[in-house]
Amino acid sequence: MESINVLDSRASEPEDVLIARLCIKFNLITSDQLEQVLQQSLGKSLIYALHDMGYLSEEQVAQILKVRKKTMICSHCQEINVYETLLGRLVCERCHRDLQDSRHMSTTGRRKKYGKYIITREIGQGSVGVVYEAKHLSLNQNVALKVLKNEHITTHIVQRFLREAQMVAQLNHPNIVHVYDSGEEHGVPYIAMEFVKGKPLNKMIQDREISVRRAAEIAKCVAEGLEHAHKHSIIHRDIKPENIMITEDGTPKIADFGLARQISAEESRLTQANTIMGTPLYMSPEQAEGAANITALTDIYSLGVVLYEMLVGRPPFLHSDTMLLLNKIIREQPTPPRNMQGVIPKTLEDICLKAMEKKPEDRFVSAQEMRLSLEQFLKEPVIVPENVTTHKEITKRPPMRQVLSRSAQIPVAQKKSMKELMWGQAESQAQEEQQNDIVFDVVMWGLLLVGLLYLGYRMLHVM
């Protein structure tokens, strides 16, 4: 056990000691092999050093990490105790003493420190990681610290996780969340990113805070960020409102490149055919089909879905069954946004639907082309007024009394202010649609009145 003692003296925390003891307990390595690894892997997590030097397979690494979560070392006799569950009263198998005060060796709980960063609070959780707000020890700078969950710590997942940091570190753009640093703390990888003060786009959509014009502005900024990523041959593959942060000053920032892929022969081997990756509601048809040759145009489609949701209030395709949802994405055409929100300008609807074409070649050829189309739309002086929301007031039809009173107040030609001239066409379009609704309601009320009069007439004659 000399190698264990050497490991004890060099480890700042008992994590590597436990890994070594578990490997020996299950006869995965010998003490001599452990000694050799320790001599050649100073500064590196023991579990990954054992894998990299060929002593542990990927399956064995996963096995050890799984067992580690249900392991305790007796503080009295140092016996390793492995349990099916860590609930209830636990007793050491050797000395039979209570393990209540023993060192709990599971790292499923939150650590207080990762590398140079001190955890302050949890921000949120994803499928494979947890995001914390943390503070850099020497710089006193707040960061968002993304930490991989223990149950997902396998060689492949760690590779993908750290690849995210390496890829996004290449990107420097105001519409992309910056990555500052990455590393490992006792076998747990982490990524230190820019801490964004603001709220995710999905919360803004839920709270109905987005006007038609603002929706176009956000989509334009996201397209600009994607344009920068695509120029570095990086595809995001998971564009959705939850992954778009809006800062306090209103700047959209793309976050979470966890499913991002670098377009190169070396990286393409990590994504296999018939593997569906992404969030179903925002997947492109080719993603839904599990195609291997995913291109940057999949991000264009997903951004089109995000724009659609900002304009209408929901994604174009919905279903509680994931497979049926994917089938709708592959085969069905989305309902045009103007069918649900008539105030949306035709130009903006065309941009949205073009981005969501089923065939990639029918979409915008690049994020740059989509950005330029949105910029051109925003330059047009005649668009929907900024204070008209996409799916708040518009979805509420006014009471009949208000509609009828408005019909009697249709204005005659008047002098218009500069502001009225600027929004004249959009207001005329909205008024025309409103007048159509008024005509329909008046006709319906008229028919009802005629029916009542006729019924009264017949009753009088019967009497």
Whole-structure pTM value: 0.61
Going by DSSP bridges, is the β-strand pair 142-148/188-194 parallel, antiparallel, or unpaired? Answer: antiparallel
Where is mean pLDDT largest: 32-36, 109-113, 124-128? 32-36
Please report the pLDDT score of residue 28 as a whole number.
85
3-class SS letters over 224-271: HHHHHHHHCCEECCCCCHHHEEEECCCCEEECCCCCCEECCHHHHCCC
User: Which of the residues 32, 101, 238, 441 is marked catalytic?
Assistant: 238
Residue 258: predicted pLDDT:
64
Top-confidence range, 30-44, 92-106, 119-133, 448-462 = 119-133
Told to judge if 238 belongs to the known catalytic residues of this protein, a careful annotator would answer yes
The pLDDT, as a whole number, for residue 87 is: 44
Higher pLDDT among residues 108 and 242, named by residue: 242
**Residue 365 confidence (pLDDT) above 60:** yes
pLDDT digits (tens, 9 = 90+) for 396-426: 434 433 333 333 333 433 334 433 433 344 4
* Token output for 282: 């925002």
Mean pLDDT of 302-320: 96
Handedness of CA 231, 233, 234, 235 (dihedral sign): positive
Does the pLDDT value for residue 64 go beyond 90?
no
Question: Which helix H or strand E contains 302, and what residues bound it?
Answer: helix 297-312
Q: How confident is the model at residue 199 (pLDDT cuts 50, 70, 90)?
A: very high
Alpha helix positions (H), 92-154: none
Q: For residue 287, count other CB atoms closer than 10 A to its CB.
A: 25
H and E: helices and strands count for the chain: 18, 14
If pLDDT is split at 50, 70 and 90, which confidence band does 23 have?
confident
Neighbouring C-alpha atoms within 13 Å toward the C-beta of 405: 5
Q: In this predicted structure, what is the pLDDT of residue 270?
A: 37
pLDDT at 143: 95
User: Which pLDDT does position 38 carry in this prediction?
Assistant: 78
Considering the chain, what percentage of its residues have pLDDT values greater than 70? Answer: 68
User: Does pLDDT of 456 surpass 70?
Assistant: yes
Using CB atoms within 10 A of its CB, is residue 253 exposed (0-12), middle (13-18) or buried (19+)?
buried
